[in-house]
Every structure is written in structure tokens, then in C-alpha cells.
Structure 1
């Protein structure tokens, strides 16, 4: 994959600056479901996320990746994301 747009390169750049300033830092990257770590898929956003993950896994440090499949609010905590986006057909309210 060619070098992605500037906004995609921001996350690895910040992570590497943090690692240089604080070598013991642990960096956890929240990515997304269907991320394409091969960087060869048809979806541009999935390739860009895959490129970002691959950059973060390269030395000088290895980041931890977290790919949530769904966000579900805890009982009693009001959601800021409409559930119909997360679960089609679920009544909201």
C-alpha cells in the first residue's frame, strides 16, 4: 500500500514520539472490526486501519490492538450513541 494520507499517519507519529519520550509507555490502539492488516483489501478505510496497526506493531515498541465489535451501554448509564446504529431493529428509548 502506498503511504496513506497525512491524517492516517498521525497516530503512529504520536505513538513513536511518546515511546521516544517515555520508553516504558504502553500504547493501546482502539481500531475497528474488519480491519485489513494485509493492506490489500478492497475497502480503503480497512486498509488504512491495517496500515496504522502494522506501523504501531513495528519496533521500537509493540502496541496492543483492541478491535471492539459492538459498544453496549451499561445498565443505568445513558448511551450517547443511538442503539439503532449498533443493533438494527432494537427499540431505543
Structure 2
């Protein structure tokens, strides 16, 4: 049974670390490369790390980015308090630069982009962040990867014991079972998200925009 080699961005954030945790513990992952601006706090036999400050210019590390089967792009920022120009740069421009580089180096790669519930890929929403995320999804789909998936988690139940969990989640995780019961299409766990992305990389999926209900379905598929 073949194994996959994965690149993860954003591993020093809650979502990225949760996805990394699932990858490191999954029998179908051979190795994981994380690209961070600052060092990650843990080590693992499968794990390799590159510290790189400028995600708008990957030229100095390109030689280390070939030979990978999947990229789980978990690097992202909130639009709160940011100008429209800065949000566009850090959400669209940065993501597209990384993706274009990886598609050139790894044309057989599956690229999974962590987007968000409410993203508008018609690019007509009144919400600036939803338009920017939508444009990012749309333009990623045009790149010469094997597959591209826009993954749109909603409310995430944090994985216990990880270093970079938002402190707020310690107080709101109790809401999860209530929300899941009332609105199952809006709630999934970070564990399910990580497992779903691994499944996407190994088996693929007919839909390219992955909503919460798809995340839950994919997490249950044996790979």
C-alpha cells in the first residue's frame, strides 16, 4: 500500500497543527514537510521543517519542495482589523504564489486549500473576505495540479492536547455537541478535517468544493 508525502503550511496555527497531528499519526503518510515563519515546538520521525520568512518568494527553498504528493494549505488570517489591500495580499497573493510554485515543481500533487464556510466563489458577495476567498478558490482550480480542493470547515472542535489551540476553544468546545445536533452541516472536528484531507490526497472526491458534510463523510472513508 503506497504512502504519501505531504507539505503543510500554517502548522503553528490551530488548524494547521491539527491537520499535522493527523498526518503524523496516519499509517498512509510517509513524511511531512512543514514550512513555517517560526519554529514548530515538537519533533517527530516523519517530520521535517523549513523556516522561511517570505512566502512571496520561495526561490531559495525550491530545491527542497519537489517530490511531494499533497499540500495541505492551512495558512490563513482573519480579515478583522486588516485593510482590504493587506487582506487580499495575505490571502490571495500569498496563497497563489505558493500554489504556483508547487504546481510547477509537483504537477501530480493534490492541493487542499483551507477556505471557510460562507466563501463566495461567484465573487459577488457583499463581504470582502468572502469574495477574496472565492477568487482564491477559483484561481487555484486553474493551476496544473492533479487535483485542487477548496475545503470549507465551519465550527471546528479543537483537538485536545495540542500547543496552538485558540484559548477561546477551551471555553466553547462544550457547545459542539449541541451545535452538531441542531446544525450538523456546520460543525465538524479538527480530527475529521485532517482525516478528510488525507482521504482527498489518496482517493480524491467528485466535488471540488468540500463543505462540512463532505468533510464528515470523507473522514469516515477507510484509506
User: Under a length normalisation based on structure 1, what TM-score does the superposition of the two structures give?
Assistant: 0.74
Distance 1:6 1:58, change over 3 A: same
Uncovered stretches (5+) of structure 1, i.e. residues with no partner? none
Q: Counterparts in 2 of 1:46-65, with a 5 A limit?
A: 46-61=130-145, 62-65=147-150
Structure 2 equivalent of residue 40 of structure 1: 124
Cα RMSD, aligned residues only: 2.4
Deviation at 1:19, TM superposition (A): 0.8
SS at match of 1:63: strand
Question: Separation in 2 of the partners of 1:37 and 1:85?
Answer: 30
1:29 to 101, 113, 126: 113
**Against the structure 1 CA distance between its residues 78 and 32, is the aligned structure 2 distance closer, same or farther, given a 3 Å change threshold?**
same
Measured in 2, the distance between the counterparts of 1:16 and 1:50 equals: 17
Task: Flag the 1:11–1:85 CA change in 2: closer, same or farther, 3 A.
Answer: farther
Matched, 1:71 2:178: no
TM-score with structure 2 length normalisation? 0.33
Counterpart Cα distance in 1 of 2:98 and 2:115: 16
Do residues 6 (structure 1) and 79 (structure 2) align? Answer: no
Question: Whole-Å Cα distance in 1 between the matches of residues 130 and 151 of structure 2?
Answer: 15
Report the number of matched residues: 83
- CA-CA distance at 1:5 after TM superposition: 3.7
Structure with the larger RCO, 1 or 2 (CA within 8 Å, 6+ apart): 1
5+ long unaligned stretches in structure 2: 1-86, 179-223
